[in-house]
Structure 1
Amino acid sequence: MIFPPHRQLRLAVVLFSCISLTACVVGPDYHAPPSVDTGSGWTQAAAGASAPADLVRWWSTLGDPELERLVDTALAQNLDIRQAAARIDEARALRDRAAGQQLPAVSAGASVNRRRQSENGPLPVGSIPGLDASQTIYDAGFDAAWEVDLFGANRRALEGASARLQATQAEAQGVRMRIAAEVARTWFEATGAGEELLTQQATVATLQQTLDLMRSRAALGDVSRADVDAAYERWAAANAMLPGIAARQRGAVLGLGVLLGAPPERELKLLDTAAPARVLPALPVGERADILRRRPDVLAAERRLAASTADIGVATAELFPKLSIGAGGGFQALSPGDWFDSSSTRYSILPLISWRLFDGGRVRAEIRVREAAQRQAALGYEQAVLAALGDAERTLGDYNASLDTLTRHQAALDASRRSFDHAEARFAAGDITRIELLAAQRLLHEAETANLRARTTAAVQMVALYKAIGGGWNLADTAFAAPGS
């Protein structure tokens, strides 16, 4: 039975749609990797380990408005974060391109072609009655091409592109978490250096008073020149530390400007800003296994494993036949008045089956390449899990140790304050000299400096722990979110 042209076209569309719907998908289906042994719990006591961790905007819980401003500005303007957003756009476009491979490619066009054929050419135009050597051909129509996804190569490619998009989004989330932590760490270092600078200046002032007294007593013969030189040595050593501390403070503030996506000098006004009293909490780190769902590096590694699994299917599909369909149609005429007449209709349908029968083993070698890449991705995921656990354990230990150190320095500072109070009382009673009182004051300033350094170290370790356990892991950001992403 011979069907009319429109029936043939309809039949072809139905036939190829059925083929597409019943086509199989080759290659392994992705399954979540087996759970990596995370141990039975933290290896050392973690205060609040079983409490729910409020980690989304952890810097907001520290009672420091300036820190909140800095972090929020960095999250909006930091160039690393903006680059991460651009990488997401790139990955999303690659996914959309892979999705487009499943649809036909259709083009349309129209032309008016004026041509003259040679009367002495292979076609004897001059000897054919009624055939003019000069002609104008009017043509309008469309062409379509479609490779039927018989064995799921395009679907596997879309799976892989979608997984890579998700991995890129997880990595971008990691960039945001890192920048938030870096801003907080740099701010703590800047304020810590500023407080240390004030204490060191007080120490130098005390030593200057001691030196002046020693010189006066030396002039009276009460002390030796060696005692004056010793006092001068202590003053000079303390005074020599001032430029380095000031440089650390300025360097940290300059670093804040860059982290905020601005010229380094933008935040120099912070050199004169005092940080509020800071309480360093015992963090509710949650269960040890909880960090795996909050760590972007672990999430990204799992998505890369999914993409590598899909790549095997893409390579495997090359072993099987390919079915391509070309179709075209339109109107062609020699007269503008007949251009869109039904008798000027033209069309063509061209199914094409191709099968690579011999390629020197290149396809099977490519499959082995993809399988090896998948094994690497699986090992990379396991490595990411273990690295995350190790990072969390290490930073928890460092933070606990820094809190213990701070507690001990605080005890030493309290003792030094009591000792200075006793010295003031004894000086008022005439039991000790001013030089002895200044010596007690110098020891108090040194204890204050040591305590400030311990507090800054603990604050920095706190930031590292927040980052290690996934602090800020589900920060909302419209730049990273899109429908169907």
Structure 2
Amino acid sequence: MFRFGDCCSRWFIGCLLMALGASGCMTPGPSYEPSKPDLPAAWHSISGGATASMEAKDLSRWWERFDDPLLTSLIERALDANIGLRVAEARIREARAVRRGVAAGDGPHVSVGGSYKNVHSPSGTSSNVRAVGSDGYETNQYQVGFDASWEIDIFGGIRRAVEAADADIEVQVEAARGVRVSLAAEVASAYVDLRTAQKRLVVAQSALETQKKTLDLTQKRYQAGLVTKLDVANAEAQVASTESTLPVLEVGSRQASYALAVLLGKAPGDLDAELSYPATIPSALDRVPIGVPADLCRRRPDIRKAEAAIHAAMARVGVATADLFPKITLMGNVGYQSTSSSTLLDWSSRFWSIGPSVSLPVFDSGKIRSNIAVKEAQQEQAVLNYRQTVLTALQEVENALTAATKEASRQDALRKAVEANRRALDLALRLYSGGQTDFLNVLQAEKALYASEDTLYQSFRTVSTQLVALYKALGGGWEAEGL
């Protein structure tokens, strides 16, 4: 005997099985392909100098090139204890947890529950009830069992959501790597600032001692009637002017020390004992393994992060597109149901049900299409942000390379200026002691020597900080393992 209901059931199950078979090869939205930015073949700023090399090497521990054990120790401690880095690592764990939650949507969900209801029914509707009067009956209903549901990802919406979550993890991983890169550079820069301030303070104190000796000589010559009071006043003004620079340099030294402490997750001042003794300004003017521009896309975390953001945005276009298609859910429950608690768990009280549920959007006033357009616009933004990130990276490398190279060549002239000013001061003092020149030449020679020495140490700082900036711009300071 032909039954229309049985035929429809078989037809539906057959279609469902066909859809399940096809579900593995259907994925909505655009598929991600790695970006291929248009990059120059070589760096514009490289002219064969001694500060750059086209050879690409491991930059994960670039600070060791400065050959300063204390700097290496500070950076390693910062990478272990910095609070900002810990926050970034926690965001990775958060993204991974979100991904697990998204992936759970592709599997069955089972819950257990029970219920009790006291139902009042009109008279004559049931015979298995207790009469409560002429107007009806009441009965107790007990139920306990399992409920299960499984949304079958035929059209790939969940797969795309998992893909987006995977890309989000990569975004956070690269963000953490970016924090490591910035942190190492910040520690190195603060350390260079500290050593520079200490060296400038030593130079200022040395200049002050020289100027005090000149003042003493001038006072003796005044007492002997060889010079006027004007020379003494000028010498006193010179001493006072130099003394006024000492507190400023001390502030710079303290602030750099405080910054280092905070970067290491410590309170300001905790590193004072360790950093109080002056040392040389770290320098690494050997050939920097700068590589070629194409290396940036593999090395810089911000570029890798922007690339992962494109992947996530494209996957979310697919998630939004999947909403255009039907959602098929298999649902079922099994358990016991009875009007009496004493018979609830009897075999005769068992029940079960299973069947599919299909939901197909027919009219939503354009909501789904609008959401797709939003995701497509976000994808376009991610692509443009990637391009801008690449251009900014190129600019940062060129800027740092140019600054370090030109400042290094400037140091040769500054060293010559220091030596010439030192000879000029010695000559001026000898001539002044013999009464062969006026005091103005001595003052000018002292000022010139102090200024040239101070400028030289500031130049050392510029070269070192620009080298730090160059290593940062190259994406140095992270390793693939550990995140």
Cα deviation for residue 473 of structure 1 reads 3.4
Cα deviation for residue 18 of structure 1 reads 6.0
Conserved? CA contact 2:317–2:375, under 8 Å: yes
Conserved? CA contact 1:189–1:249, under 8 Å: yes
What is the 5 A alignment of 1:159-170? 159-170=163-174
Listed as ranges, the gaps of 5+ residues in structure 2 are 3-10
1:91 to 82, 85, 95: 95
Which letter does structure 1 place at the counterpart of 2:22?
A: T
Which letter does structure 1 place at the counterpart of 2:310?
A: L
1:107 to 108, 111, 118: 111
Task: Confirm whether residue 245 of structure 1 aligns to residue 249 of structure 2.
Answer: yes
Of 319-328 and 102-111, the range deviating more from structure 2: 102-111
1:313 to 281, 301, 318: 318
Aligned equivalents of 1:82, 1:260: Cα separation in 2: 12
Quote the residue 2:77 is aligned against: 73
Task: Confirm whether residue 28 of structure 1 aligns to residue 30 of structure 2.
Answer: yes
Aligned equivalents of 1:476, 1:273: Cα separation in 2: 36
Quote the residue 1:7 is aligned against: none
Aligned equivalents of 1:106, 1:12: Cα separation in 2: 24
Task: Confirm whether residue 43 of structure 1 aligns to residue 45 of structure 2.
Answer: yes
Quote the residue 1:467 is aligned against: 472
Aligned equivalents of 2:283, 2:189: Cα separation in 1: 15
Change (3 A) 1:475 1:186: farther
RMSD: 3.3
Offset from partner CA, 1:324-343 (integer Å, 9 cap, x none): 22111123346677555543
Conserved? CA contact 1:146–1:326, under 8 Å: yes
Aligned equivalents of 1:195, 1:37: Cα separation in 2: 41
Conserved? CA contact 1:402–1:461, under 8 Å: no
Which letter does structure 2 place at the counterpart of 1:251?
A: Q
Cα deviation for residue 49 of structure 1 reads 2.3
Offset from partner CA, 1:406-426 (integer Å, 9 cap, x none): 2322233344566678889x7
Which letter does structure 1 place at the counterpart of 2:81?
A: Q
Change (3 A) 1:430 1:14: farther
Listed as ranges, the gaps of 5+ residues in structure 1 are 3-10
Quote the residue 2:408 is aligned against: 403
Offset from partner CA, 1:199-232 (integer Å, 9 cap, x none): 1011111111111221221122111122122212
Quote the residue 2:7 is aligned against: none
Conserved? CA contact 2:130–2:138, under 8 Å: no
Which letter does structure 2 place at the counterpart of 1:234?
A: Q
Quote the residue 1:190 is aligned against: 194
Cα deviation for residue 465 of structure 1 reads 0.7
Cα deviation for residue 148 of structure 1 reads 1.5
Cα deviation for residue 300 of structure 1 reads 0.7
Aligned equivalents of 2:171, 2:43: Cα separation in 1: 28
Q: TM-score, normalised by structure 1?
A: 0.85
Conserved? CA contact 1:160–1:308, under 8 Å: yes
Offset from partner CA, 1:70-120 (integer Å, 9 cap, x none): 111111111111111121122112211111111122101346x48586897
Conserved? CA contact 2:281–2:461, under 8 Å: no
Which letter does structure 2 place at the counterpart of 1:88?
A: I
Q: How many residue pairs align between the two structures?
A: 463
Offset from partner CA, 1:223-257 (integer Å, 9 cap, x none): 11221222122212111111100000001101111
Conserved? CA contact 2:42–2:292, under 8 Å: no
Offset from partner CA, 1:264-319 (integer Å, 9 cap, x none): 12112245223356343241211222122111111011111111111111111111
Aligned equivalents of 1:38, 1:357: Cα separation in 2: 51
Task: Confirm whether residue 158 of structure 1 aligns to residue 156 of structure 2.
Answer: no
Task: Confirm whether residue 346 of structure 1 aligns to residue 355 of structure 2.
Answer: no
Quote the residue 1:359 is aligned against: 364
Aligned equivalents of 2:277, 2:348: Cα separation in 1: 86
Q: TM-score, normalised by structure 2?
A: 0.86
Offset from partner CA, 1:350-378 (integer Å, 9 cap, x none): 31112111112221122122112111111
Q: Secondary structure at the match of 2:289?
A: coil
Which letter does structure 1 place at the counterpart of 2:332?
A: A
Change (3 A) 1:161 1:148: same
Quote the residue 1:281 is aligned against: 285
Conserved? CA contact 2:46–2:52, under 8 Å: no
Quote the residue 2:6 is aligned against: none
Aligned equivalents of 1:235, 1:395: Cα separation in 2: 38
Quote the residue 1:5 is aligned against: none
Task: Confirm whether residue 229 of structure 1 aligns to residue 233 of structure 2.
Answer: yes
Conserved? CA contact 1:206–1:438, under 8 Å: no
Aligned equivalents of 1:361, 1:37: Cα separation in 2: 41
Aligned equivalents of 1:404, 1:393: Cα separation in 2: 17
Change (3 A) 1:105 1:13: farther
Conserved? CA contact 1:38–1:389, under 8 Å: no
Conserved? CA contact 1:199–1:449, under 8 Å: yes
Aligned equivalents of 2:15, 2:277: Cα separation in 1: 75
Change (3 A) 1:13 1:440: farther
Q: Secondary structure at the match of 2:322?
A: helix
Aligned equivalents of 1:33, 1:116: Cα separation in 2: 64
Identity percentage over the alignment?
35
Aligned equivalents of 1:164, 1:186: Cα separation in 2: 32
Q: Secondary structure at the match of 1:265?
A: coil
